[in-house]
Structure 1
Amino acid sequence: MAAEASEQKLTISVASDPRAQAQIPRIRARAALLGAFATLFLSWHAGTPLFVAGVRAIVAGVCCYLVAWAAALQVWRTVIATELRRAAAEAEEQQ
């Protein structure tokens, strides 16, 4: 019983990786801004009233934010899994 309490379960996640913690918010923000500004410019350039173009830009910014978030999480999951496999292979070679 004491042995079970002393054992800590090791969990590896994107949230615990400091590189991912720094990069994912940056990617989300840049994608949202780029999507919003591009939509605003293209809508305004096409002759859409400014209010409608602004609403479209906000919606596009939110959509880009969510898509970038999902994509960044998937990329980081793949990166972390690859690093774990590589570390396991190196540990196996050393033994």
Structure 2
Amino acid sequence: MKVELLEAIDGEEAISIFQKKRPDLVLMDIVMTPIDGLVATRKIISMNPQAKIIIVSQYPEEEFKREAFACGAIEYFNKENLSAIPSVIKKYLQTPYK
């Protein structure tokens, strides 16, 4: 499987990259400025409801997880559990982005 990694320094750049490149999968942090990852997730999902976004955060609290799913994220990972991410990425890359 060929993988191209793209990196954004903030939520605005993440949105811009998504518009231009239409990646199959997005890993999004919550804490970014001026637009945080949840706002960026909402905007990306509003552009394309089939976008696959995984939120990765240092916040283990359930309220952040609920908010991430309410914004349209398909998964939520605490940064302390990053070892599980490769298998989840593989799972979601099995079905190409539309």
TM-score category of the 2 structures, normalised to the smaller one:
under 0.3
Normalising by structure 1, we get a TM-score of 0.27
Asked which structure has the greater RCO (Cα within 8 Å, sep 6+), the reply is 1
Higher share in helix: 1
Whose radius of gyration is greater, 1 or 2? 1
Higher share in strand: 2
Normalising by structure 2, we get a TM-score of 0.26
